């Protein structure tokens, strides 16, 4: 697994440490994790330091809650029972199921490391998804389809909020992320790194089911925004625009549904190309 290099410590004319600014600018989020499945996977993955866990006082300690308690105790993570009023003052997502955790922020890796850190990169590049439920659902499908890395722009796309983390059901704990200044420039870098860039767009001339098996061993699936799809410049930087064939009268699928279909088609092709 690729490891992210720490950002360089720059100093201004007065010698002040600029590393905190760099880290803030590049922050993916993820510090607050809400929902039972998301908190459970946070504890199981052991990729991040967990500061504490809150359980709302009316939550019954059975099933997955019991598992969370045992995992927290084994790792000596403070486990606090709090009033409903205090819990609701802190919670940021709907249906948090009475459990939240505070953890270290997710850390991104350099785009080059995201590609070269694995033998066969399978990436998702997000261009303008602003609905946190959609992004969370995309990340959940991506993890299950075997995606090796997620590329997010610093602007025009939601990052890992509590709602995203909950909708992803723990997938954020197993995915590697790269936070880039812009999608078009990232796509240019991916071209230089030998990654085939397939843009998912209703205007695509080719079907997603016709992607060549010859390109799936180094592939990035590019997803556009919920309303406008891929931007013009992003589309121009893709090697191919693909669409999902539709038989109904509606214009398009929800981006998370379209992503799931496309991701598992690529996963099928990759599996078929793997010996054994």
Reported as a single tens digit per residue, the pLDDT across 101-138 is 999 999 999 999 999 999 999 999 999 999 999 999 99
Write down the residue that tokens 């669409």 correspond to.
243
Q: Along the chain (276 residues), what's the average pLDDT of each consecutive run of 10 residues? A: 40 39 62 97 97 97 96 97 96 92 96 96 96 97 98 92 97 97 97 97 93 96 90 95 92 92 97 77
Asked, for residue 25, whether it belongs to a domain, the answer is: no
Of 117, 129, 105, 155, the closest CA to residue 221 belongs to 129
Range of the domain at 90: 32-103
Asked, for residue 123, whether it belongs to a domain, the answer is: yes
Number of H helices, E strands in the chain: 10, 11
Same domain, 99 and 116: no
Q: 189, exposed or middle or buried, with CB in 10 Å at 0-12, 13-18, 19+?
A: middle
- 198-227 burial, b at 16+ Cβ within 10 Å, e below that, comes to bbbbeebeeebeebeeebbbbbbbbbbbbe
Which distant-in-sequence residues (6+ apart) come within 8 Å of 65 by Cβ? 36, 55, 59, 99
- 19-57 burial, b at 16+ Cβ within 10 Å, e below that, comes to eeeeeeebbbebbbbbbbbbbbbbbeeeebebeebbbbe
The number of distinct structural domains making up the chain is 2
In whole angstroms, give the CA distance from residue 86 to residue 209. 50
In whole angstroms, give the CA distance from residue 51 to residue 143. 25
Same domain, 66 and 124: no
Asked, for residue 21, whether it belongs to a domain, the answer is: no
Same domain, 37 and 133: no
Tokens encoding 89: 């003052």
**In terms of DSSP bridges, do strands 99-103 and 50-56 run parallel, antiparallel, or are they unpaired?**
antiparallel
Same domain, 140 and 239: yes
First and final CA of the chain: distance in angstroms? 23
Asked, for residue 13, whether it belongs to a domain, the answer is: no
Same domain, 171 and 82: no
pTM for the full predicted model: 0.88
Q: Which residue, 42, 68, 103, sits at the end of a domain?
A: 103
> Residue 65's CB: how many other CB atoms inside 10 A?
18
Question: What's the pLDDT score for residue 142?
Answer: 98
Question: What's the pLDDT score for residue 227?
Answer: 81
Question: What's the pLDDT score for residue 26?
Answer: 55
């Amino acid at each position: 697994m690729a490891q992210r290099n720490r950002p360089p410590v720059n100093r201004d004319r007065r010698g002040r440490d600029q590393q905190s600014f760099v880290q803030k600018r590049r922050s993916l989020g993820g510090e607050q994790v809400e929902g039972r499945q998301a908190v459970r996977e946070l504890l199981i993955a052991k990729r991040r330091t967990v500061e504490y866990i809150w359980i709302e006082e009316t939550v019954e300690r059975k099933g997955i809650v019991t598992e969370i308690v045992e995992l927290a105790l084994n790792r000596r993570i403070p486990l606090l029972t709090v009033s409903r009023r205090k819990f609701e003052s802190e919670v940021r997502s709907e249906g948090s199921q009475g459990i939240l955790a505070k953890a270290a922020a997710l850390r991104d890796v350099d785009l080059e490391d995201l590609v070269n850190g694995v033998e066969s990169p399978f990436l998702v590049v997000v261009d303008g998804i602003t609905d946190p439920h959609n992004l969370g659902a995309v990340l959940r499908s991506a993890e299950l389809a075997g995606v090796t890395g997620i590329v997010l722009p610093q602007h025009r796309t939601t990052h890992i909020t509590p709602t995203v983390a909950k909708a992803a059901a723990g997938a954020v704990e197993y995915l590697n992320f790269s936070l880039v200044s812009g999608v078009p420039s990232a796509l240019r870098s991916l071209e230089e790194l030998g990654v085939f860039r397939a843009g998912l767009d209703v205007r695509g001339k080719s079907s997603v089911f016709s992607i060549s098996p010859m390109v799936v061993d180094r592939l990035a699936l590019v997803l556009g925004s919920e309303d406008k799809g891929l931007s013009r410049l992003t589309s121009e930087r893709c090697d191919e625009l693909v669409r999902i064939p539709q038989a109904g009268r509606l214009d398009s699928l929800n981006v998370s549904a379209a992503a799931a279909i496309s991701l598992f088609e690529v996963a099928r092709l990759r599996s078929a190309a793997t010996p054994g």
